[in-house]
Structure 1
Amino acid sequence: FLALTRMSHLGRFDSYSPVSEEIVNDFVLGTGPGPKEEDDMCFRLYFGEGWRQTAWNLAIINNMIKRIIIDAEEAKLGPPLPSDVIKAILWDFILQGRNSWSMKKPRIHESGDHLETMAEAGLRKVQYKQSRSSAVHSTTRKKSKLEHCTAGVKELLEDRSQTALARKKWEMILQLLQVLAIEGQSSEDTDSENNLHPTQPAALLIKVPHFWHRIIGELMEDLDRAVEQLRISQRRQSGIRAVPRPSCIRIRSGQVSYWTVQYRLPCPLYHCTFLRNLTKSMLNKVKPKDVVVHHFAELVDQVDSDLMMDEDVD
């Protein structure tokens, strides 16, 4: 796709030159030529109004699919993907490219009283990139945390010294991790301002997602402690001495994160105040599921930890 559009990166389409609306309209009305193999319009996209539905872009995509299949056959890459699959992938690439292209184009200013200057549009693009970078880092850390916790709870389940009651608890937490997935993990930010060793990675401050039932945070803290104790015991038995790297040190800040909300979780996993404060339209969007997480409901009945943190959420 990048080769056909002559771009270097999906996020760097600000210099891309799409075809004009006049050319597209002439093609649609039959008064002008379409994108043909023999000219430089063959793979040149239209990014204006109605870009998703226009016959021009549909013709461009068909041209791209033909070229991709031919190139794959010549390179002997094996059976080509079905055309429908290639088309879906191309639409996703086009969307990303257009978002990048339009980011630096002037829009109505957020104040609503004037059209953005080029400087304001450029600043908005920089802010978008910074926000996007922060979101990617956060997701990467959440993914790493999920993998770390999942591996840890599986080690605990394999540990023969665990009691039957503890094993039941780890089985429940493993199910919780699977349901929460990546987006449901606690948020972790680098506390660079208070880093005592600037040459080393700073510790990660953990913030609890505001939509979580607070007992989940306590369970994850129990899991972290149990996994650490198990690994210390394993190192002692093997004679290995190890110090955790700063990048692996996590500090529970007691703060609540409002960065995101995960939809369609089992109802008991949501904080009761969070659900109670949702409007009807937001509740329809969040769509909490009436699904049982084994042993979780009994634990919630035993320890009503929501009451402990209502002030933080309110």
Structure 2
Amino acid sequence: MSEQSKNFVTVTEVGTRDGFQAEPEFIATADKVATINALIDAGVRSIEATSFVSPRALPQLADAAEVLAQVHRNPNVRLAVLVPNARGAERAAAAKADMMVGFISASESHCKTNLNKSIDQAIADFAEVVPIARQWDIKLRGAVATAFGCPFEGEVSIDNILKIVGSYDAHGIRNITFGDTTGMATPPVVTRVVDAVRNKYPEMEIALHFHNTRGVGLANVMNGLQLGVREFESSIAGLGGCPFAPGATGNICTEDLVYLLQECGYETGIDLEKLIEVAKQVERMMGRQLPGQMMKAGPRLKLMSLDSVRRAVG
């Protein structure tokens, strides 16, 4: 099935950026590279690999350029990177990223904690990223963080969301992601945001990035599918959480998402069994149990031998 089919859903892996960035102990560059290579081998074709933020702000991702240099590049795989400003964009361009992702919070409070600037300042700084990406012929995506709620302010303003999307649109950007930074999204909130943006900017291609903080991440995915969204961001084994927002635990889990999509008749191009092995590998790397469910239970039709279970006696 081609990626143009209405039943094809793009799964963008963010674990090696959004997941790894929250880890307190430095993960070896070789382990990051091995994880990305394993994801590619499993059929993942869209990966947010790392971030070119200041190494002082996120020392975990200080090796961003080294990671991109060592990954087995594949012309069919899009390696995106987060860039907060022009300096980050220049580093990303030098590292030959396939896509730059700019990000602005829809909440003033979170924008200040995450980017140390106001929404208006963040919009102005992103404008300096655009010519750098154009010069190097690198694709651009715009992300809106805290799009479904803010831990400091509660509900976020639709006007703020539309202002940010409008700034991306003014630069010719047609791919945007709405981020559920602290797991505050619910299906009605997602519908309200997606409908508001589509009404004003119908040409925008929307991706959704959910966290499972309150246990409704995959319910939000189902709602997004009904709204016609065909790209979702997720994290291998359920790693992740914004280090600049309280309570922002785990992204939705990639292998759980792929299983849901396949069971619902969607095509992803991803080998679920290989993906589960990557999740197990990441769990071993982290040295603790991670939230993903599929790597524990396996697909629903995975059968067991009767000899492998205890028999009731009595």
Greater C-alpha Rg: 1
Q: Relative contact order: is structure 1 or structure 2 higher (C-alpha 8 Å, sep ≥ 6)? A: 2
TM-score (norm 1): 0.24
More helix by share: 1
TM-score, normalised relative to structure 2? 0.24
Higher strand share: 2
